[in-house]
Homo-oligomer: A and B are copies of this chain.
């Protein structure tokens, strides 16, 4: 299911096969929270910008339109017309960041919907049932995502419970995959490492979940308040205990530089809302650093966003036109900018894979890790 084809130091070039296709790794997954990509991108657009894996959000789709409806209409792939690999998160992150009136118990979490205040209960079994109804290829374990920093004793109790929840997730998904009428019986489970910023808890937790022989392992609870160096340190602490023959997914990370640095530390899967969110604020990535198109200096700039980019936007539109669209508050500004930024991220991963294939990853990292952190 996952095969490491090549290594450059700790960095891995791999292939992950799931029911809807084979994913070349390292990979950046493109976020379609509610079964649609922000900025009015369609499933067809995703193909055109080099997306390999679409990521949707369990919590949002459970609340609206409801996972049972999506199940009854043939699953999320059919509903949104995306026929490639798909990952769904567990809902945990949104329950802890969006929902209100939250009560965490051993059985799961009681909370109120952010849309209509309706009371909802979600535990490991419920999360698996929803993700099974959606029919993604990769289901994520239901966990508690804690903000950093948090007190040691709280983090310890939390990640012990998250471990117990993971065992329940595994049992429940096994059960669901065996039932008749399951949308995607080949759905697999990725576990999520937690433990806050405490090395010993992170390592203990990673060792325990590794024993469960899951299809993949994520590092969660990072990029939620801690300094970048702490994030890199935790990856380095945990990585030696992650099974070498399973993909590693760093959740919610990050800038192009963060991704290059995490690949260098052995990570294979990424996702982040940053490229779409930045795009909506006219902050666009280029191979020389990021630019803000609202800047007056682009008012009469006839060049593309990035002369070194061959995305559908850079091939056709000028910075001057895009800047006008932003100033005039035209929706098209968002769409074209999101397309460019997601293409940039997908292209970043392509370049990382090419570098790994050619044993040039160190040189690539040396050239781009700092440059892509700049603003020009």
Contact = CB atoms under 8 A, between A and B. Distances in A.
Interface of A: 34-44, 60, 64-65, 69, 72-73, 79-81, 299-300, 302, 316-318, 320-321, 323-325, 327-328, 330-336
B318 A73 contact: yes
A40 B334 contact: yes
A36 B300 CA distance: 18
27 contacts: A34-B324, A34-B328, A35-B321, A35-B325, A36-B325, A36-B333, A37-B332, A38-B331, A39-B331, A40-B330, A41-B332, A42-B332, A42-B336, A43-B316, A60-B328, A64-B327, A65-B299, A65-B324, A69-B299, A69-B300, A69-B320, A73-B320, A79-B318, A81-B317, A331-B331, A331-B334, A331-B335
Contacts of A302: 73
A38 B334 CA distance: 12
B321 A34 contact: no
Contact of A72 (B65, B300, B324): B300
A140 to B, nearest CB: 21
Nearest to A37: B332
A130 to B, nearest CB: 16
Contacts of A73: 300, 302, 318, 320
A320 B71 CA distance: 13
Contact of A328 (B64, B317, B330): B64
Which 6 residue pairs are nearest across A and B when measured between Cβ atoms? A40-B331, A40-B335, A40-B40, A36-B330, A36-B332, A65-B324
A312 to B, nearest CB: 8
Contacts of A321: 35, 79-81
Nearest to A336: B42
A267 B233 CA distance: 72
B64 A316 contact: no
A36 B69 contact: no
Contacts of A39: 40, 331
Contacts of A327: 64-65
A333 B330 CA distance: 15
A72 B318 CA distance: 14
B324 A64 contact: yes
Given A36-B333, A60-B328, A81-B317, 4 more contacts: A40-B332, A42-B335, A69-B300, A73-B320
Contacts of A60: 328
A328 B36 contact: yes
A376 to B, nearest CB: 22
Contacts of A40: 39-40, 330-332, 334-335
Nearest to A321: B79
A64 B325 CA distance: 10
A105 B238 CA distance: 77
A72 B64 CA distance: 48
Contacts of A37: 332
